[in-house]
Amino acid sequence: MSQEVSTAAPAHFIKNIVEADLAAGKYAQRRWAGQPGPAADHTAAPPDAAKIRTRFPPEPNGYLHFGHAKSILLNFGLAEQYGGRCHLRFDDTNPEKEEQEYVNAIVDSVKWLGCSWENDLYHASNYFDWMAQFAEYLISAGHAYVDSQPAEAMRATRGTLTQPGQDSPFRQRTPAENMELFKRMQAGEFPDGAHVLRAKIDMASPNINMRDPAIYRIRHATHHNTGDKWCVYPMYTYAHPIEDALECITHSICTLEFEDQRPFYDWLLERLAEGGLLQRPLPRQIEFSRLNLTYVVLSKRKLIQLVEEKHVAGWDDPRLPTLVGARRRGYSPEGFRLFAERIGVSKSDSLIDYSLFEDAQREVMNESDERRVAVLDPLKLIIDNYPADQFEDCLAPNHPLHPERGERAMPFGRELWIEAEDFQEVPEKGFRRLFPGNKARLRYGYVVECTGCDKDAAGKIIAVHCTYLPETKSGTPGADSVKVKGNLHWVSAAHACPAEIRLFDRLFSVPAPGARRAGDAPDLERDFLDDLNPASKTLITAQLEPALKDAKPEERFQFERHGYFAADRVDSQPGAPVFNRAVTLKDSWGKGST
Ligand code: ATP
Ligand code: MG
């Protein structure tokens, strides 16, 4: 990640916490001792012991989305800014839903965002031995018990927000009984659901998460990493704090829905530290508000549904707010970073307008992308006084803000492609481009005067005619000798490269898909799928200037007046380009010169 971006980023409450911890020297004495962690020598200080460690802990059960990008950039950004480390950890404790395909895609997406974990790549499933040992310690210390109630009974005795729960009839089992049962659970003697191991905390706690939460359950399932070694698996809320502690994480940053879990996070780590199984200082959980964006959905469940029910073409469909989709569409990782900086980090829930994301993307692309010309809705322009066998070069700057990036030659000849909308036989008020009798400039080329048009039998305009003014070529002394108000882009018909272009609109036609709207009947439940925008994708065949013909996959350009376009990373090849529009231009080029 670029240093400038992260250090220039504004302060926020998590940075304040980190800075206070570092100023207090909180981590200076840290040791691995008693912890397996990523190090071989557990009595040594972890590398960079005094520095912060954060982590990004995806569950490999889906593809990453824009919300994950916020979390990734926050965690990796803090580590970079404060000279610490950020771990990429696969939180793969659930044997049932996880797949290697997701693991690979997550690795690619985090790298694509420009984040690097060096050797700090971990799998929660590698800590299963430790988690089981820690559970046995909790049993022996009287902090956990095996509950043999059926699941319904456990639910029924949990109480509600206003009612305390009731103790399980098995709560008073002795540590010896619990230990024997837990060993037998591990040995595979019981079917799924026969028993669970629960933390023994307080069934009357006002926080439901503290009412003896389950920490281990029986699941006769094959795990993608540990195979059939285990038939008991830790619950997420038990596993996660242990993973953090074993990796010497200092600041465990998560989204607000885990706020109510924090007391259990602390309770568990405190018990294990009391028992000498973990070293202090313990990791600290800090919550921030998740990213919500208009016109998209950021929930794995909904994204999976869109893909599986084929409402989109796959996980990398450019309309999806997944990171693989973003990459394929042509969004820039730097644009994600700028966006993340702008929206900041806080504890208040908000719905961010998608246009803020697009603005950040545009701002980055405006600076980085070279300019090219593409005619998206081609209409033939014939220059009747230009010889049919003659061609010449017109020079166009690659980047108007960066002359050092040079120019390219655009061939010019008698027949050009222009945008159909740039000609009006009978001009509407204020129209300044081509209409019979009017002059306009062909950008980087000549001023032309429109003389008329050809129509087919049905009256459709099939070609526009004009004459050019030879003394008005751009870049020559006579360029300004004739003043015109209209300015249009073009490509030489003899040299143009026809190409498929994919234009995208919002995937959903309302800002909050699936949300109830004013005036809805009280019992109406909306389905987010009903809010899909039926016109979110349009395919067209455009005419590109020849310099675009050999674009490499993922290469991106600003097509003058039309926005930022990237060569599709799957379907485009040099010689046969296919472009996706990542984002439109905010202000159309030539505005004021229509
Ligand atoms: P979802 O809520 O979409 O199902 P998840 O939280 O289950 O996603 P995980 O793989 O568990 O997905 O998430 C990894 C990390 O990304 C977690 O720390 C989680 O808090 C964070 N994260 C997930 N969604 C968002 C979001 N919208 N904004 C910010 N961070 C997020
Ligand atoms: Mg989650």
Q: Closest-lying ligand to the alpha carbon of 57? A: 1
Question: Is 0.85 surpassed by the pTM of this model?
Answer: yes
Nearest protein Cα to ligand 1, atom 21: 68
Out of 91, 102, 255, 323, mutate this one to test ligand 1's pocket (max ligand atoms within 8 Å of CB): namely: 255
pLDDT 10s digits, 408-428: 999 999 999 999 999 999 999
d(CA 486, CA 464): 16
Place of tokens 């070529």: 473
What Rg do the C-alpha atoms of the chain give, in angstroms?
31
Ligand 1 contacts (CB < 6 A) are 57-59, 67-68, 70-71, 254-255, 290-291, 298-300
290 is catalytic: yes
Distance in Å, CA 461 to ligand 2 centroid: 57
Lowest mean pLDDT among 38-52, 365-379, 476-490: 38-52
Integer Cα distance of 232 and 219 in angstroms:
6
* Closest-lying ligand 1 atom to the alpha carbon of residue 62: 10
Nearest CA to ligand 1 atom 3: 299
Catalytic residue, chosen from 15, 31, 51, 59, is 59
Over residues 554-572, the mean pLDDT reads: 98
Higher pLDDT: 410 or 39? It is 410
59 is an active site residue: yes
Amino acid at 231: C
Higher pLDDT, 166 or 31: 166
- Residue-wise pLDDT for 248-269, tens only, equals 999 999 999 999 999 999 999 9
Q: Give the span between the Cα atoms of 554 and 397, in whole angstroms.
A: 21
Q: 268 and 238 in contact (C-beta within 8 Å)? A: yes
Helix (H) or strand (E) holding 419: strand 415-419
pLDDT tens for each residue of 335-383? 999 999 999 999 998 899 999 999 999 999 999 999 999 999 999 999 9
Find the DSSP H helices in 344-479. Answer: 354-368
CB atoms under 10 Å from CB of 16, counted, come to: 10
Rounded CA gap, 406 and 139, in Å?
72
Ligand 1 atom 22: residue of nearest CA? 68
Let me know if 10 is exposed, middle or buried by CB neighbors in 10 A (0-12, 13-18, 19+). exposed
Q: 166 near 155, Cβ under 8 Å?
A: no
Query: pLDDT tens across 292-332, in order?
Result: 999 999 999 999 999 999 999 999 999 999 999 999 999 99
Any idea how long the chain is? 594
Rounded CA separation 330/566 (Å): 5
**Residue 165 to residue 416: CA distance in whole angstroms:** 78
Q: The tokens of 7 are what?
A: 């250090």
Is 337 annotated as catalytic?
A: no
Ligand 1 atom with minimal separation from the 61 CA:
10
Taking alpha carbons only, the member of 380, 361, 416, 381 closest to residue 558 is: 361
Shortest-distance ligand to the CA of residue 298: 1
Two tokens, residue 400: 């108007």
Q: Per the structure block, which two tokens stand in for 166?
A: 């009731």
Helix (H) or strand (E) holding 56: strand 53-56
CA of 28 to the centre of ligand 2 (A): 31
What token pair was written down for 344?
């900041």
Q: Can you give the pLDDT at residue 31? A: 72
CB 216 within 8 A of CB 5: no
For residue 304, the ligand closest to its alpha carbon is 1
Nearest CA to 196 among 251, 243, 139?
139
| Residue 437 Cα to chain centre, angstroms | 51
User: What atom in ligand 1 is closest to the CA of residue 59?
Assistant: 10
- Other Cβ atoms within 10 Å of 459 Cβ, number: 6
3-state secondary structure 484-548: CCEEECEEECCCCEEEEEEEECCCECCCCCCCCCCCCCCCCCCCHHHHECCCCEEEEEEEECHHH
At 37, the pLDDT band (50, 70, 90 cuts) reads: low
Centroid of ligand 2 to alpha carbon of 259 (angstroms) = 13
Distance 100 CA to ligand 2 centre (A): 18
State the Cα–Cα distance between residues 161 and 539, nearest whole angstrom.
53
Computed from CA positions of residues 407, 411, 414, 418, in that sequence, does the dihedral angle turn out positive or negative?
negative
Residue 189 clears pLDDT 50, i.e. is over it: yes
